[in-house]
Structure 1
Amino acid sequence: MQSIQVLLALAIAPLFAAWLGTLRALLQNRRPAGLGQGYRDLRRLFHKESLLPEGSSWLLRFSPYILFGTKVMALTLVPIIALNLPLARTADVIALVGLLAVARIFQVLAAMDTGTAFADLGAHREMLVSALAEPALLTAFFIASLLAGSTSLSTIALHAQQAMFSLHPSMVFAAAAFFLVLLIENARIPVDNPATHLELTMIHEAMLLEYSGRHLALLEWGAQVKLLLYVAMGIALFFPWGIADHASPLAFLVACLALLGKLFLAAPILALVETLFAKKRLFRVPEFAASAFLFGVIGLLTHFMLGA
């Protein structure tokens, strides 16, 4: 089931990104590209030649594989369709955040390795924002860990399933912090616009300007997997109902249908946020990330003062 979960996530990640793009286009009175656009883009990029800047080192060449590999490893640690999978016991939420940080470090180093001004600016902006986003993500995880008595994401999801009717005010602040971090880490509006190439404002896309061919395909696919991964983490933390807690074909089928339904409902929320809110100025983005950390701290204080 571990392999099925990873393969399922890799397969539906482009579909989820295309569904989100379709909803966003419809809300903005534009003609959508279709649900198969993500797969068509990946196919086109995988068939193109990969070119590298002259003078670049091995970092630029191998970083796409490292980034994609870390996303695949993260998929094995998150209970997407089932709890207590074999590899889920090897790491907790702290190791999961560290694994995502390793991917970010390699991406930033590879961007600086190109020697171009825009990639270097994007790398510095990425580190500035992530320095505030990672603590906010950890505080959201810590709130759920204190309630569940464990830092294992599977245990946290199981505790949330068993206490589905319990009211925890601290989890409301954790959900707010996590949602802001989801927007930050996936370069979504109002933090960044993944569809723009305006040099003065882009963060994530600035680090990808020197990639082409299969390298760019792996980075784009990895970004889609990362978006699905964060949504799956949010589901495991706050809406874990439907995730299989035992190994059986029926439970697996119900978990897959529940996952598709939750993704179907999560995309309109993200599309609505990206439509109703304008992109923030670059110098206001750290304030946005600090707000996520503030929500997490308030959630921790609420837990310690109220015990809930």
Structure 2
Amino acid sequence: MSVAGVVGGVVQPLVVVAGSPFLVGVMRQVRARLEGRAGAGIGQPWRDLRKLFGKEPITPRGTSEVFRLAPMVLVATTLVVAVVVPFVTTDSALDPVADLFAVVALLAAGTVALALAGLDTGTAFGGMGASREMTIIALVEPTLLVAIFALSVRVGSTNLAAIVSSTLHDPSRVISPVSLLAAVALTVVIVAENGRLPVDNPSTHLELTMVHEAMVLEYAGPDLALVELASAMRLSVFLGLLANLFVPWGIATTAAPLAVLGGVIAVAVKVTVLGGLLAAGEVFLAKLRLFRVPELLAGSFLLALLAVAASFFLA
């Protein structure tokens, strides 16, 4: 564990927690402008969270500890990922946990906890949303593993910090067929994992089309605030992972204050730009019918497999 890793482990979760609601606000504002609306401003998600945290906690009758603990599990797993993944510095605070398989397992654990909470409510919409989410995650997680594994082949390690450092020292890898195929596959994963169009519509009010929102219909007050905050943090984590795996420039290689500040600014700019592009793309997309979603995710898995094959043949 290096000094840079410790500094990154302290700074990164603070940046993710503080900046994630603003990222959601930027994305909503981009969509609003492109649709000809004024928008509520980039600070509206934080105002909504403050209002929800100030409300009285309400728990539906008949639910168990699974329902009550799911928001905290979702936040905790995302925070651990924010600590260990190299976003601001190339070194990780907990290097063994920065492994590809450990990070994907942590992200999947949060999703499973939320799905179990949807089932625990005993409502039709909660069960429907949980069932759809499990279908999606069963197709998404292998793609996430294989896409990043394609990058790890040429490094000889599944450690995310090692992959980022390797790309930083050899920028030509960014435009290689392996990186391009893996980047497209990972982009589809991000869209599906975070319930964005065309897989899911985060602003829908039609229960029959919901996936993520159907699982959290019964949450209110501080619990809903934790779910919303964790969802924004997961989006930031995924976009930060995409940015630093393929465009790691600006990340701090030392613990010097200016280098760390530069790393914070770099990751904030990259994630904001990616979020803005994602929001702009959603304006021109319609939600896919549910039975079409596996076809999209299967296509992304095929691209990830091609990336792995290319990493061996072009090594």
| Class of the TM-score when normalised by the shorter of the 2 chains | over 0.9
Q: CA deviation at 1:287?
A: 1.0
Q: Which residue of 2 aligns with 1:145?
A: 152
Cα distance in 1 for residues equivalent to 2:74 and 2:201: 21
User: Residue deviations 1:10-49, cap 9 Å, x none?
Assistant: 1000001100110011111122110110110100100111
Q: 2:273 aligned with 1:265, yes or no?
A: yes
Q: 2:164 aligned with 1:161, yes or no?
A: no
Q: Which residue of 2 aligns with 1:119?
A: 126
Q: 2:68 aligned with 1:61, yes or no?
A: yes
Cα distance in 1 for residues equivalent to 2:98 and 2:242: 18
Mapping of 1:83-94 within 5 angstroms?
Answer: 83-94=90-101
Q: 2:103 aligned with 1:96, yes or no?
A: yes
- The aligned amino acid for 1:27 is L
Cα distance in 1 for residues equivalent to 2:239 and 2:129: 24
Q: 1:283 aligns with which of 273, 286, 291?
A: 291
Q: Give ranges in structure 1 of 5+ residues lacking alignment.
A: none
Partner SS, residue 193 of structure 1: coil
Q: 1:3 aligns with which of 10, 21, 28?
A: 10
Cα distance in 2 for residues equivalent to 1:232 and 1:96: 13
Q: 2:206 aligned with 1:198, yes or no?
A: yes
Q: 2:255 aligned with 1:241, yes or no?
A: no
Q: Say if 1:5 and 1:129 are closer, same or farther in 2 by CA, change over 3 A.
A: same
Q: Which residue of 1 aligns with 2:4?
A: none
- The aligned amino acid for 2:103 is L
Q: 2:239 aligned with 1:231, yes or no?
A: yes
Is the CA contact 1:174–1:295 (under 8 Å) kept in the aligned structure 2?
yes
Q: Which residue of 1 aligns with 2:21?
A: 14
Is the CA contact 1:197–1:206 (under 8 Å) kept in the aligned structure 2?
no
Q: CA deviation at 1:264?
A: 3.0
Cα distance in 2 for residues equivalent to 1:267 and 1:125: 24
Partner SS, residue 207 of structure 2: coil
- Runs of 4+ deviating beyond 4 Å: none
Name the % identity.
42
Partner SS, residue 4 of structure 1: helix
Matched positions, count = 307
Q: 2:29 aligned with 1:29, yes or no?
A: no
Q: Tell me the C-alpha RMSD between the 2 structures.
A: 1.1
Q: 2:282 aligned with 1:274, yes or no?
A: yes
Cα distance in 2 for residues equivalent to 1:190 and 1:9: 25
Q: 2:106 aligned with 1:78, yes or no?
A: no
Is the CA contact 2:153–2:312 (under 8 Å) kept in the aligned structure 1?
no
- The aligned amino acid for 2:102 is A
Q: TM-score, normalised by structure 1?
A: 0.97
Cα distance in 2 for residues equivalent to 1:246 and 1:51: 46
